[in-house]
Amino acid sequence: MTMTQKLRVPDHPFPEPPAPGTATEVAPGVLWMQLPLLWALNHVNVYALDDGDGWTVIDTGLDTTKIREVWETLLAGPLGGRPLRRVVVTHHHPDHVGLAGWLCAKTGAGLVMPRTGYLLSRMLRAEEQSLPPRAVVEFYRRAGMDPELLAQRRTERPFNFTDWVAPLPLDYGRIREGDRVRMGGRDWIVRMGEGHAAEHATFWQEGGDLVIGGDQLLPGISPNLGVQPTEPENDPVTDWIASCERLAAFARSEQLVLPGHKKPYHGLPERLDQMARGHHEALDRLEKHLAVPRTGGDCFAPLFRRSVTRDSYGLALAEALGHLNALVAQGRAIREMGDDGAWRWRAA
């Protein structure tokens, strides 16, 4: 899931995305496919790597009837009816992990993902809620959610992981930082990113120019760096900037990055620099905005260069908290509890 700043887009060698149910070969034996999403961002990218005797698939889309049908078309068509050997998931968000369990059950493929993502996916699937728990309502009140919206949300079924993610296999293969894995006739080094999702896997081809980036390395849009009710003091913006700076050491202009959304691109060194700079600048604008005390819900204007709709309000609030927590961690802002039960942040 993504939102926030629109940034300058780097060079895209494949200008047209593959039509639904078809694939574009972006390198020998590497297929790019798109699945629909139901959100403002209307697609997610998945990839298939030719292992000779079958395929490794990277990411899987949301679990909906329609997207299962698209997979059926892809398996019979571009993947030529050859077996899936492995389903690799970059991170635990529903648009990436959603159909992993279904694909594994259907094809006999093994699941491969980071341990944090696997455990979070299993945990979140086990917690179905018909109404937001009291602690979650309190979290939103402290964050400064618009009171009318909060009153409405208290009465509605919240976003449930289990509505969008099929049951996961009871075992999986763990990948961790620095691992070497063989996929599509190539060796890849696993490097983990932080900030958008805990332990987000990226794959860097050894002796070649392909990088599988998931949502850690997106062109044109900045992924959501959100604070969730389970970890209210989390500081994902600082983690994100640190990941951009760390991964920059491995980035080269000639690499072709295969992202989780939008189109494959060249120009990773510039893109990483641009993403880190974008959040540094957002922190500067937010700090100025805190010349007077503000709630989290009062902080959208300096962060987002587009209007925040009701649909994107939750993501926007989560990301506002992310930047506010970063300013507090850096000693640039302090917060005090207001009489209405909502924090007020102000510049230190």
Residues engaged in binding Zn ion (CB under 5 A): 95, 215, 260
Instruction: Quote the least distance from Cβ 312 to Zn ion, whole Å.
Output: 15
Give whichever of 145 and 217 is closer to Zn ion, judged by the CB atom: 217
Q: Is the dihedral of CA 173, 177, 182, 184 positive or negative?
A: positive
Instruction: Quote the least distance from Cβ 82 to Zn ion, whole Å.
Output: 27
- How far lies 301's CA from each of 142, 155, 232, in Å? 19, 28, 22
Instruction: Quote the least distance from Cβ 91 to Zn ion, whole Å.
Output: 8
What is the Cα–Cα distance from 229 to 222, expressed in whole angstroms?
A: 21
Checking phi first, is residue 195 left (phi over 0); if not, alpha (psi -120 to 50) or beta? Answer: left
Tokens of 283: 């922190």
Instruction: Quote the least distance from Cβ 203 to Zn ion, whole Å.
Output: 16
Instruction: Quote the least distance from Cβ 302 to Zn ion, whole Å.
Output: 25
Give whichever of 95 and 235 is closer to Zn ion, judged by the CB atom: 95
User: What SS3 string covers the chain?
Assistant: CEEEEECCCCECCCCCCCCCCCCEEEECCEEEEEEECCCCCCEEEEEEEECCCCEEEECCCCCCHHHHHHHHHHHHCCCCCCCEEEEECCCCCHHHHCCHHHHHHHHCCEEEEEHHHHHHHHHHHCCCCCCCCHHHHHHHHHHCCCHHHHHHHCCCCCCCHHHHCCCCCCCCEEECCCCEEEECCEEEEEEEECCCCCCEEEEEECCCCEEEEECCCCCCEEECCCCCCCCCCCCHHHHHHHHHHHHHHHCCCCCEEEECCCCCEECHHHHHHHHHHHHHHHHHHHHHHCCCCECHHHCCCCCCCCCCCCCCHHHHHHHHHHHHHHHHHCCCEEEEECCCCCEEEEEC
Give whichever of 295 and 312 is closer to Zn ion, judged by the CB atom: 312
Instruction: Quote the least distance from Cβ 194 to Zn ion, whole Å.
Output: 15
Give whichever of 51 and 95 is closer to Zn ion, judged by the CB atom: 95
Residue type, 234: N
Give whichever of 268 and 315 is closer to Zn ion, judged by the CB atom: 315
Instruction: Quote the least distance from Cβ 172 to Zn ion, whole Å.
Output: 20
Give whichever of 223 and 297 is closer to Zn ion, judged by the CB atom: 223
Instruction: Quote the least distance from Cβ 98 to Zn ion, whole Å.
Output: 10
Give whichever of 215 and 239 is closer to Zn ion, judged by the CB atom: 215
Give whichever of 226 and 260 is closer to Zn ion, judged by the CB atom: 260
Give whichever of 132 and 193 is closer to Zn ion, judged by the CB atom: 193
Instruction: Quote the least distance from Cβ 260 to Zn ion, whole Å.
Output: 5
